[in-house]
Structure 1
């Protein structure tokens, strides 16, 4: 796969990172998180379960390090000239220190992520120790890397729009298949077909399909359960295009919902509208969360809602399609919405072993408000 963006886009990102390094008096940074490596270099591979890193120096040098077998992949997905591979029998941590010594000889201050899922405690500790032995002081740089990814460039937004179109196609196919007598597996197959045939790559997270009482369990994936009449089918999925994501949660049913499930459906739609009203430049993610919860509480259903109301989306690799660590719609979020941010607003009401209703939208924050990117026209059927 060729690089997703022209070289100038990656050069802009690397230049911004080098400005940050100089502002923090850092000689270099060692990046391990797959999303950050992809953002800065374009490198994308399902093989991120093995060690890889990107080293960027404040003076202008940069190199990728990974298994030798992955270097061909990196040559195709990036513009990098310096792509170093290590044999499976070699210690990648030692290779990282050696490469850093070549790129930034005499480095005394190095940035590194402290919260990368793919640098476990043992190699993290060893890398810290070896850098310390080499006379390098290590500074955690997670927040600076996160801030760089939060506001999307016009080229990134193009990829997210493409992902949204594919998500909408997958959701439409799944919703049409979610009829009484069909199994959840049938619906999942329709979702996969709709997503992939409309342009999606391998996903950041698999689609979710849960019907009837199973919809009351968060992150319930498909089973052989047969969908019955008068029960909700909760669907959630995200296509991935250029490693960018645009999720959508939607609920359909055939017949009539009754009791608490019917009340939840109305309250969920009201909660989504209330949260979306707060998604605008200068608006507060915390206020969006508060508005969402208030609409649910006003319906007497506060006991069905136990989570945040949304999160940032963009680049993602499994096991997640979101960027909740960058920004979440929750009471503790301090940052405000800015044009170019993209968030998944996702109220979901659940009763254990009872029912689940979710209605979401991936939205782009614009100069004047927001634009809804993911939606599904398929609604309840009589």
Structure 2
């Protein structure tokens, strides 16, 4: 095992983050979101369910804290010197370890936290504040988001590779879908293709739903057999170097009833309208409004109850997206820029009847939108 990118990639990321901390007057921050820890250091493990954190002083090298048994992963996957990797035994309180390291790493006049992280509990946070007694606290979520939202060429290459795998899995799934096949058979084909073609562990499992179940959001596979005249909706991601690409697609098994065919036609128009709007300078809200208008023009707006898309990149379970960085929805005034990668994913679901979702992972370029994930043959 070795770091997935060259040393200079991580040095560049850390330098930009340090500049952001300097501008914000933050002496030190604690990063606990596994995606941001991975972004800054390369450290990646499914073991983030136990406490891990990155102490990032403004004027010193970062220190990575993790369970003692995980240290070997950090040694192999990061360029951090061994004395900047701190492992704690299972019988030691990691908050005490963190407080001790932060107190010795530099001044604590203003300390930053990624407050949207799911992996520093309120209980831990309060105990840490009591131990540190900082002069002031601040959030670094927006600082990290500003760094991560624009992908470097190396990051884009990883996403392209993930998209290649997604497309192969979609093609394999489409070829298998027919009456009598179970939803779980389709899911197995998606998993098998992704793993064999090079995907790592995923931020979230694939979704497969047929018939009336396609009207339910986030429906995973069951033993249900696919039938003639119904939609089969599937959505899956692939991960390369922890970078994800995603695709949602729906296959019509034979001829759909007229009402569901209208849903399918409307969803295709909504996807195409969204992607046509995605170019530098437009806002995330503009993209969402384009999608909503296409659905409203076809009389199905009552069945559209979601955002239109979200940023993708580094991901760990329980999600494969970067919706916390950027979503396509109302009130989202962030302007699209070259280097952003977004999953445009309109889906129209009629509960108890069925649904259709059609999507693409899209790279924003100087000239517009480049589609990375697609479902050929279905």
2:354 matched residue in structure 1: 355
Correspondence 1:314 to 2:313? yes
Q: Distance in 2 between matches of 1:95 and 1:316?
A: 27
Three-state SS of the structure 1 residue aligned to 2:35 is helix
2:207·2:221 contact (CA, 8 Å) conserved in 1? Answer: yes
After superposing the two structures, state which structure 1 stretch, 168-177 or 325-334, moved more. Answer: 168-177
Q: Distance in 1 between matches of 2:273 and 2:189?
A: 31
1:99 matched residue in structure 2: 101
Q: Distance in 1 between matches of 2:170 and 2:131?
A: 49
1:37·1:43 contact (CA, 8 Å) conserved in 2? Answer: yes
Three-state SS of the structure 2 residue aligned to 1:277 is helix
2:54 matched residue in structure 1: 54
Structure 1: gaps (5+ residues): none
Q: Distance in 2 between matches of 1:115 and 1:63?
A: 21
Q: Distance in 1 between matches of 2:2 and 2:358?
A: 35
Correspondence 1:27 to 2:27? yes
Structure 2: gaps (5+ residues): none
1:200·1:240 contact (CA, 8 Å) conserved in 2? Answer: yes
1:86 matched residue in structure 2: 88
Three-state SS of the structure 2 residue aligned to 1:175 is helix
Q: Distance in 1 between matches of 2:95 and 2:336?
A: 38
TM-fit CA distance, 1:136: 4.0
- TM-score by length of structure 1 reads 0.97
Q: Which runs of 4+ in 1 moved over 2 A?
A: none
What does 1:85-234 correspond to in 2, within 5 Å?
A: 85-104=87-106, 106-132=107-133, 135-234=134-233
- TM-score by length of structure 2 reads 0.98
What does 1:254-333 correspond to in 2, within 5 Å?
A: 254-333=253-332
2:232·2:251 contact (CA, 8 Å) conserved in 1? Answer: yes
Correspondence 1:17 to 2:45? no
Aligned residues: CA RMSD: 0.9
1:179·1:253 contact (CA, 8 Å) conserved in 2? Answer: no
Q: Distance in 2 between matches of 1:25 and 1:34?
A: 24
- CA deviations on 1:20-49 (whole Å, 9 max, x unpaired) are 111111111110000000000000000000
Three-state SS of the structure 2 residue aligned to 1:145 is helix
After superposing the two structures, state which structure 1 stretch, 343-352 or 276-285, moved more. Answer: 276-285
Three-state SS of the structure 2 residue aligned to 1:293 is helix
Q: Distance in 2 between matches of 1:285 and 1:125?
A: 35
Three-state SS of the structure 2 residue aligned to 1:125 is helix
Q: Distance in 1 between matches of 2:115 and 2:131?
A: 16
1:41 matched residue in structure 2: 41
TM-fit CA distance, 1:125: 1.4
Figure out how many residues of one structure are paired with residues of the other and give that number.
376
Q: Distance in 2 between matches of 1:187 and 1:164?
A: 19
Q: Distance in 2 between matches of 1:113 and 1:101?
A: 18
2:233·2:357 contact (CA, 8 Å) conserved in 1? Answer: yes
